[in-house]
């Protein structure tokens, strides 16, 4: 393991800071709150934490609209609080990676405030500006993910600017060399602070087509698979000109050259393109990013066959590289609701989380996943997410997966805050709180934590190869192998008992508290959402 980079095969715990723990009773989680709960995170058995944006921001998109890359937003604390966080994380032997949003800024960023003033100022080309068409309409048909045109008219400058997300999130112009150098300096600032890596948000949006060509339209049967509902007009286009341009690859090499000047840095890019698995390969080959993070397992489809095809396809492309997988995050419905029933079966929650952590790759775990939390229902009057406000009720936004962590079940705020939280804690989450599950040896929390700690000792599960095995429609089966040691993994995705024929000659069962299948007369019998591991002796 000494030659294996820390990020390769690691388990990374994603923290959404405003919903993790509130240390100062203002209803919003903060950096000190994360620091106070690091012992809990370390005890889970994870290797690193990924902290979603905590930088200065007007919070139109809850921190993904940065107004100053080098400042901590006061609602999250101070730079001293960040220094204390990274020091304590390292004391617990946790790596710390931060979420950097490099494709766009807030319209309150000093760069944009200057850029909009004229076509000749020193930052005039730092954002994507374009003249109106002869009839005054936007330059082309590009759309914003959050609704409407991707172009917004700016009266001061007398031009349109590009925004792939909210109109308050103008896109940076990476065709400008000065802008690219400035961004590298912003990244260097945090490297010098001692972070261990970066999750790079929406990294494929950094470059646009310089000719501003129109995107072609999709037939209705293809308007899916990129994490956008079919009701969203964004799904009606092939997005081949507004992002994922070939120039991004040379910039990623520049980023990697910067990372390589520091010891043990890991980087993972969030990639969402028309051919995402191809893009993951391109973005991580030839000394670019270390890992590519895609939405393929964050989709609505979650069958064994879909997971097998997705992982196998990427494995065949990477040629020795490694994927990065997640089944929940701050942008999608929680997995036990997305791939199951609304209330979330605890056994299914165990099975899905352990399945994810058994795949070949680096694993990202979203806070609350270790508790088996279900998606929360948010009424329209309480919704905070601008994405949800735009497309309600067909799409209810992302608030349902962003509700505060339930630390204990004996107060309305579940121990998250002494003040009214920014989003309510659902009643259904109180019975799944940390304090209750900590006392139950068979809880989702304790089962998952025991597995992650055991996983740390199993080289086949961390860096081994993967080969999928024949099984039934409802069972996902594969073997992980490293230097002659082979671990066989079976997962029942159904709510009924499943039987799979397997040879056990010369094999020895792995005894784990989470293993609840049984071998009988040449068959493996898996109860509903059952799990089984065995390996060669």
Catalytic site includes residue 201: yes
- Identify whether residues 479 and 405 lie together within a single domain: no
Does residue 505 surpass a pLDDT of 70?
no
Q: What is the rounded CA–CA span in Å between residue 49 and residue 14?
A: 6
- Separation in Å, CA 491 to CA 79, 304, 377: 44, 9, 29
Q: Look at residues 454, 481, 515 and tell me which one is the last residue of a structural domain.
A: 454
CA atoms within 13 A on the CB side of 172: 27
Residue 79 lies in a domain: yes
Tokens of residue 404, six digits: 């505060």
CA atoms within 13 A on the CB side of 86: 16
Q: Look at residues 454, 476, 496 and tell me which one is the last residue of a structural domain.
A: 454
CA atoms within 13 A on the CB side of 47: 21
Q: Would strands 68-72 and 55-56 be described as parallel, antiparallel, or unpaired?
A: antiparallel
Mean pLDDT: which of 13-22, 339-348, 477-486 is highest? 13-22
- Report the sign of the C-alpha dihedral through residues 34, 40, 44, 48, in that order: positive
- Identify whether residues 299 and 394 lie together within a single domain: yes
What percentage of residues in the chain have a pLDDT greater than 70? 95
Domain span at residue 191? 11-105+177-454
Catalytic site includes residue 192: no
Q: What is the rounded CA–CA span in Å between residue 228 and residue 218?
A: 13
- Identify whether residues 444 and 471 lie together within a single domain: no
- Identify whether residues 417 and 532 lie together within a single domain: no
Average pLDDT, integer, range 393-402: 90
Residue 115 lies in a domain: no
pLDDT band at 213 (very low <50, low <70, confident <90, very high): very high
- Identify whether residues 314 and 443 lie together within a single domain: yes
- Identify whether residues 392 and 432 lie together within a single domain: yes
Q: What is the rounded CA–CA span in Å between residue 8 and residue 418?
A: 39
- Identify whether residues 404 and 343 lie together within a single domain: yes
Residue 514 belongs to domain with CATH number: 2.60.40.1180
Residue 126 lies in a domain: no
- Identify whether residues 480 and 445 lie together within a single domain: no
Quick: pLDDT tens for 148-186: 999 999 999 999 999 999 999 999 999 999 999 999 999
Question: Whole-prediction pTM value?
Answer: 0.96
Average pLDDT, integer, range 446-452: 96
pLDDT band at 224 (very low <50, low <70, confident <90, very high): low
- Identify whether residues 20 and 97 lie together within a single domain: yes
- Identify whether residues 314 and 348 lie together within a single domain: yes
Residue 399 belongs to domain with CATH number: 3.20.20.80
Catalytic residue from among 56, 270, 370, 375: 270
Burial code (b: 16+ CB inside 10 Å, e: under 16) for 319-349 equals eebbbbbbbbbbbbbbbbbbbbeeebbbbbb
Q: What is the rounded CA–CA span in Å between residue 65 and residue 168?
A: 8
Q: Look at residues 428, 454, 480 and tell me which one is the last residue of a structural domain.
A: 454
Closest CA to 32 of 70, 97, 73, 76: 76
Catalytic residue from among 22, 61, 171, 201: 201
């Amino acid at each position: 393991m000494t030659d294996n980079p820390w990020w390769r095969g690691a388990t990374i715990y994603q923290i959404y800071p405003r919903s993790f723990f509130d240390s100062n009773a203002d209803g919003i989680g903060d950096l000190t709150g994360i620091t106070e709960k690091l012992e809990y995170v370390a005890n889970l058995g994870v290797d690193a934490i990924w902290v979603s944006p905590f930088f200065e921001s007007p919070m139109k998109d809850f921190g993904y609209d940065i107004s100053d890359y080098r400042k901590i937003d006061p609602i999250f604390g101070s730079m001293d609080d960040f220094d204390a966080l990274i020091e304590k994380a390292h004391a617990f032997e946790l790596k710390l990676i931060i979420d950097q949003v490099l494709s766009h800024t807030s319209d309150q960023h000093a760069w944009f405030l200057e850029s909009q003033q004229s076509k000749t100022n020193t930052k005039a080309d730092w954002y994507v500006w374009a003249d109106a068409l002869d009839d005054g309409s936007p330059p082309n048909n590009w759309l914003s993910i959050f609704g409407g045109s991707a172009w917004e008219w700016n009266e001061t400058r007398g031009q349109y600017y590009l925004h792939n997300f909210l109109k308050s999130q103008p896109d940076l112009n990476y065709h400008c060399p000065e802008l690219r150098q400035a961004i590298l300096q912003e990244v260097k600032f945090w490297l010098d602070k001692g972070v261990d890596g970066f999750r790079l948000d929406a990294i494929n949006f950094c470059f646009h087509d310089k000719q501003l060509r129109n995107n072609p339209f999709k037939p209705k049967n293809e308007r899916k698979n990129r994490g956008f509902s079919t009701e969203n007009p964004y799904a009606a286009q092939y997005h081949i000109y507004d992002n994922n341009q070939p120039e991004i690859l040379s910039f990623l090499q520049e980023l990697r050259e910067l990372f390589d000047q520091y010891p043990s840095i890991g980087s993972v890019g969030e990639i969402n393109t028309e051919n995402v698995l191809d893009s993951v390969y391109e973005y991580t080959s030839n000394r670019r990013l270390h890992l590519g993070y895609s939405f393929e397992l964050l989709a609505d489809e979650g069958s064994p066959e879909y997971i097998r095809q997705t992982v196998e396809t990427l494995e065949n492309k990477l040629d020795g590289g490694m994927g990065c997988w997640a089944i929940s995050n701050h942008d999608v419905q929680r997995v036990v609701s997305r791939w199951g029933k609304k209330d979330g079966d605890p056994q299914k929650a165990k099975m899905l989380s352990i399945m994810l952590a058994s795949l070949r790759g680096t694993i990202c775990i979203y806070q609350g996943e270790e508790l088996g939390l279900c998606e929360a229902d948010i009424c329209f009057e309480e919704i905070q997410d601008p994405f949800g406000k735009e497309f309600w009720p067909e799409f209810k936004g992302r608030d349902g997966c962003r509700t505060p962590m339930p630390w204990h079940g004996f107060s309305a705020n579940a121990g998250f805050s002494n003040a009214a939280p920014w989003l309510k804690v659902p009643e259904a989450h109180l019975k799944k709180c940390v304090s209750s599950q900590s006392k139950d040896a068979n809880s989702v929390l304790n089962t998952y934590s025991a597995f992650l700690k055991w996983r740390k000792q199993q080289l086949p599960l961390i860096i081994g190869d993967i080969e999928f095995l024949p099984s039934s429609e409802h069972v996902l089966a594969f073997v992980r192998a490293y230097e002659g040691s082979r671990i066989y993994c079976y997962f029942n995705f159904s709510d009924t008992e499943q039987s799979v024929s397997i040879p056990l000659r010369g094999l020895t069962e792995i005894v784990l508290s989470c293993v609840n299948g049984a071998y009988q007369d040449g068959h493996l019998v898996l109860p509903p959402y059952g799990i089984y591991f065995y390996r060669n002796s």
